[in-house]
Structure 1
Amino acid sequence: MATQHTYRVIVRGKWDGLTPQSRAGLLADVDHHGLAHMQFTPEGALAYDRALHCFSYRFVIVSDAADGEEMAAALAEDKAERALKAAGLGFRELRSTVTDMDTMKINHKSR
């Protein structure tokens, strides 16, 4: 069995072609998608503000370490695309930032 790594992936994008109905729906729910609700989850956590210009999705992706960060980014972007399309929300310019939590160095302060 291959070694599994846990990745935290932030997928960022811009809203595009939102209908009046989708804009109204996003604005009605904006208080549940702000700074206080940002977290990394396997299903993804969507964050945006009232300007409805940009958004971010935060994912926890577990995949084979040999596949690397590129695969984690691709998996997260696919999840984000599917979720946004299922919700009928237009978007563009997806890009990802990946952190491998298993190789992350933690500096402890000396006492």
Structure 2
Amino acid sequence: MTTRTFRIMVRGVFDGLTDGQRAELLAAAPEHDVLHAAFTREGHLSYDLAARAAFTFRFLDEGEAEEDILAATERAERTAEDWLAARGYGVKNLRSQAEDLSRAPLGKRQRRAADNAAR
């Protein structure tokens, strides 16, 4: 069976941060800069607290069947919630979006490579 790769984004908004929590997040902001965002197995957090209180976790997961994306999304949400709860960060509007890369449309170069391989 073929392994499918899933990219999952868990988004939300920090809510009710204390001054100490805000200072902690601002101090760690360079490692969570959106310009360094990546999809990783453990999840990568990005935010720009100076601009707005929104954040995004990016996760990479795998499965064998199309239905496995649901379990992968649940794992990503649980991991994000656990990380936030462990630090006492309040959250609102938590939502997820998942993509099965095996079903993603091919770009122009990928289509050309697939056409050349088929010849």
TM range (shorter): 0.7 to 0.9
Aligned residues of 2:63 and 2:69 also touching (Cα < 8 A): no
State the 1:38 CA deviation: 0.4
| Residue in structure 1 matched with residue 16 of structure 2 by the alignment | 17
Higher Rg:
2
Q: Which runs of 5+ in 2 are unaligned?
A: 113-119
Identity of aligned residues (%): 39
Aligned residues of 2:5 and 2:61 also touching (Cα < 8 A): yes
State the 1:35 CA deviation: 2.2
Aligned residues of 1:15 and 1:52 also touching (Cα < 8 A): no
TM-score normalised by length of structure 2:
0.79
| Residue in structure 1 matched with residue 97 of structure 2 by the alignment | 97
**CA pair 13-57 structure 1, distance change in 2 beyond 3 A:** same
State the 1:44 CA deviation: 0.5
| Residue in structure 1 matched with residue 47 of structure 2 by the alignment | 48
TM-score normalised by length of structure 1:
0.84
State the 1:3 CA deviation: 5.3
Name the CA distance, whole Å, in 1 between partners of 2:89 and 2:30: 18
Dislocated runs of 4+, deviation >3 Å:
none
Q: Which runs of 5+ in 1 are unaligned?
A: none
Greater mean alpha carbon deviation, residues 90-99 or residues 67-76? 67-76
State the 1:63 CA deviation: 2.9
Q: Which has the higher helix share?
A: 2
Q: Which amino acid aligns with 1:94?
A: L
Aligned alpha-carbon RMSD (Å): 1.9
Aligned residues of 1:13 and 1:93 also touching (Cα < 8 A): yes
| Residue in structure 1 matched with residue 5 of structure 2 by the alignment | 6
Q: Which amino acid aligns with 2:18?
A: T
Name the CA distance, whole Å, in 1 between partners of 2:97 and 2:65: 16
Name the CA distance, whole Å, in 2 between partners of 1:21 and 1:52: 17
State the 1:98 CA deviation: 0.8
State the 1:84 CA deviation: 1.0
Q: Which amino acid aligns with 1:60?
A: L
The number of residues matched between the two structures is 109
